[in-house]
Chains A and B, each alone.
Chain A
Amino acid sequence: DAGVIQSPRHEVTEMGQEVTLRCKPISGHNSLFWYRQTMMRGLELLIYFNNNVPIDDSGMPEDRFSAKMPNASFSTLKIQPSEPRDSAVYFCASSFYAGGPPDPTDTQYFGPGTRLTVL
């Protein structure tokens, strides 16, 4: 399997522009997570989906952020309008959970990340 695929790998945009980040989870996984990583705040969970349904979006910083998962093989994270403080590395991760007590095979597999710079 190719692992979690994210695009673009790097994005430089100007303040006020719309940014769309894309993620293709590992085939067969039923959960998808969007994280943001900065030096100051570390790795923060923004939102996660289970079976394409958003379960917890409490980490989404503000209404400028939105995420969708139209099918099991694709998700987007959109920022509109973007601001310089949104500059960070955004990671997508996926996992498979079949029920019962978790074990290491339920672990989240991370993509390579999208490095976003908002000028």
Chain B
Amino acid sequence: QKEVEQDPGPLSVPEGAIVSLNCTYSNSAFQYFMWYRQYSRKGPELLMYTYSSGNKEDGRFTAQVDKSSKYISLFIRDSQPSDSATYLCAMSNYMLLTQGGSEKLVFGKGMKLTVNP
């Protein structure tokens, strides 16, 4: 079993729809959870960053973490064509951080989302 599992999709929705993207993970040591957005032929860029369990909201985006279920989600409300991209979840733990002095991330494979006008 891979450390991080993410359905690669693709997912196609109409404009205005609510989108739900999910990842599961197996390593209970993960403490920091991120969502990256990657536009076509670009590098990933950080979209949301959460620590431990709970919700975090930023505009139309909400990130949820359920550590008991080892499950994280990203919700996009009122989706727009400009949200069309690949969304990757990523995780890290503080032990990896302190050992290496850097934030080593483990990524999901990414879910390709298309929002149709």
Residues of A whose CB lies within 8 Å of any CB of B are 4, 30-31, 33, 41-45, 48, 50-51, 55-56, 91, 93, 95, 97, 101-104, 106-113, 115
28 A-B contacts (beta carbon < 8 Å): A4-B43, A33-B102, A41-B109, A42-B8, A42-B107, A42-B108, A42-B110, A43-B107, A43-B109, A48-B102, A48-B104, A51-B101, A55-B100, A55-B101, A56-B104, A91-B43, A91-B44, A97-B103, A102-B32, A102-B97, A106-B103, A107-B46, A107-B49, A107-B103, A108-B105, A113-B42, A113-B43, A115-B41
Map CB proximity to A onto B76-108 as digits: 1 under 8 Å, 0 otherwise: 000000000000100010100100111111111
Whole-angstrom CA separation of A56 from B101 in the bound complex: 11
**Cα-based distance from A30 to B100 in the complex (angstroms):** 12
Q: Is B72 an interface residue (CB 8 A)?
A: no
Residue of B nearest to A55 (CB): B100
Chain B residues contacting A113 (CB-CB under 8 Å) are 41-43
Interface residues of B in 26-82 (CB under 8 A from A): 32, 34, 41-46, 49
The tally of CB-CB contacts under 8 A between chains A and B is 72
Interface positions of B (Cβ within 8 A of A): 8, 32, 34, 41-46, 49, 88, 92, 94, 97, 100-110
**Neighbouring B residues of A95 by C-beta, 8 Å:** 102-103
Using CB atoms, name the residue of chain A closest to B49: A104
Most chain A CB within 10 A, of B34, B94, B100, B108, is at B100
CB neighbours (8 Å) of A108 from chain B are: 46, 103, 105
Cβ of B21 to closest chain A Cβ, rounded Å:
14
Please, which residues of chain B bring their CB within 8 A of the CB of A93?
A: 43
Docked-complex contact B101 and A97, CB < 8 angstroms = yes
